[in-house]
Amino acid sequence: MKTYLPSWLCLPFLLSILIVVSASAPPAQASCSVGGCGSGSDSWLESAQAFMSSDVPLMGLTGASSSNSISSSSSFRAGQASGATATKTVGSTPNIAASSTSGAYVAPGSRADSFPEPEMLKSLDAIAEGDVVLDVSASRTPGQAHIRGSINIPAKGFFFENGSLRNAADLAEILSRAGISQNDPLMIYSDSFASGEATSVLFSLRYLGHDKVRALDGGLENWIAASLPLETAENVRPPASYVAARPKDELLADYDYVRSGEAQMVDARTFEEFGRSRILNATFISPKNVLDGGRLKNGTNLQDVFARLNSSRTTVVYSDEIYGASIVWFALELMGFDARIYLWQDWLAHERRLV
């Protein structure tokens, strides 16, 4: 037999619940950190991130002397399509908030003085007569407006589906077909700097030994916001013969190097992924942490972002996709760090074998 509350008791009962809940909840404008309630809209997230970056139980080990170590590495080296299952393909870009510069004027002046090592950043007003401009946007369609004189080479062509970098011969062939030679000064951009397409291609070219390459500050978004010239005509260069220099293998960290504990690790995945599992002693710094309005934060703000890191140590940025990792890598390089990139999928492939 079912029992029901009399209707005249329901309303007081519900009101009492609401009063108790309201009394125990923090004010609407407050936020609660790991240690309790604080103030400011970001205090909980900042406290949580600090906690997650501390030495809590993690996945993996450090120390080359561990009994579980393996003698050789089959990491995601350039030109190797690993058999590890990738959680994200190279065709997907990181989930980064859209630029806040849409519709707002952006001053085209240089920000070079803001960074200790600004050589890889191209200011909006610094394109020279001899610069070859590469539009690496994946979404470019015929007739779509782009920077005057630019040629389109989609970023995804530089990588295998699992995110690993193609070998030097493949990269040289891509550039040769596009009419690029090893001596050309290159300026790279994509629709949005926050997509990581420009920084991933810049990383690829630096690996190839092409030193005269820069990424456009803020990408096409900021170029348009600065009212700089565009065109819709498609540009084609005659084929060239790109002769690659000695690849800079040191830019790609491998499993043995990461596991040795020699480098400080930066996790550039999402905060949720970082919370579930990560490499021992890694610090969480996502692409969102180094961006402001679709472009990099200035040097002073980046110094705050990287305050937990030691600038005298090699820094390895890892993620499950190359785009986000390359944004953080690029920011570190501008701030004077010796930075490298590693793929999370390779770590998982090795650690699963060790169990």
User: HEC profile for 280-324?
Assistant: CCCEECCHHHHEECCEECCHHHHHHHCCCCCCCCCEEEEECCHHH
Q: What is the pLDDT of residues 111-122, one digit of tens each?
A: 989 999 999 999
Helical ranges in the chain per DSSP H:
7-24, 43-52, 168-177, 197-207, 219-225, 255-260, 271-276, 287-290, 299-305, 322-334, 344-354
Q: Choose among 292, 294, 296, 280: nearest CA to 329.
A: 296
Tokens of 269: 């995945």
pLDDT of residue 40: 38
DSSP-derived secondary structure letter, 155 = G
Question: What is d(CA 1, CA 322) in angstroms, rounded to the nearest whole number?
Answer: 63
* Domains, the chain: 52-85+250-354 (3.40.250.10), 112-248 (3.40.250.10)
Tokens of 169: 């011969």
Question: What is d(CA 104, CA 225) in angstroms, rounded to the nearest whole number?
Answer: 6
Cα radius of gyration (the chain): 24
| DSSP H/E element including 266 | strand 264-267
Q: What is the pTM of this model?
A: 0.75
DSSP-derived secondary structure letter, 132 = E
Q: What is the pLDDT of residues 232-282, one digit of tens each?
A: 999 999 999 999 989 999 999 999 999 999 999 999 999 999 999 999 999
pLDDT of residue 344: 96
pLDDT of residue 93: 55
Question: What is d(CA 271, CA 53) in angstroms, rounded to the nearest whole number?
Answer: 10
- 271 CB burial (10 A radius; 0-12, 13-18, 19+): middle
Residue owning tokens 């629709």 = 191
Q: Give yes or no for a contact between 215 and 120, defined as CB atoms under 8 angstroms apart.
A: yes
Identify any residues that bridge with 318 across adjacent strands, giving them in sequence order: 267, 342
* Backbone φ and ψ of 151, nearest 5°: -115, 150
Tens digits of pLDDT across the chain (355 residues): 545 545 444 444 544 544 444 444 444 433 322 223 333 334 444 544 554 454 443 443 333 333 333 333 444 466 665 544 444 555 455 555 444 445 577 777 789 899 999 999 999 888 888 999 999 998 778 889 999 999 999 999 999 988 899 999 999 999 999 999 999 999 999 999 999 999 999 999 999 999 999 999 999 999 999 999 999 999 999 999 999 989 999 999 999 999 999 999 999 999 999 999 999 999 999 999 999 988 999 999 999 999 999 999 999 999 999 999 999 999 999 999 999 999 999 999 998 765 3
Tokens of 237: 């260069």
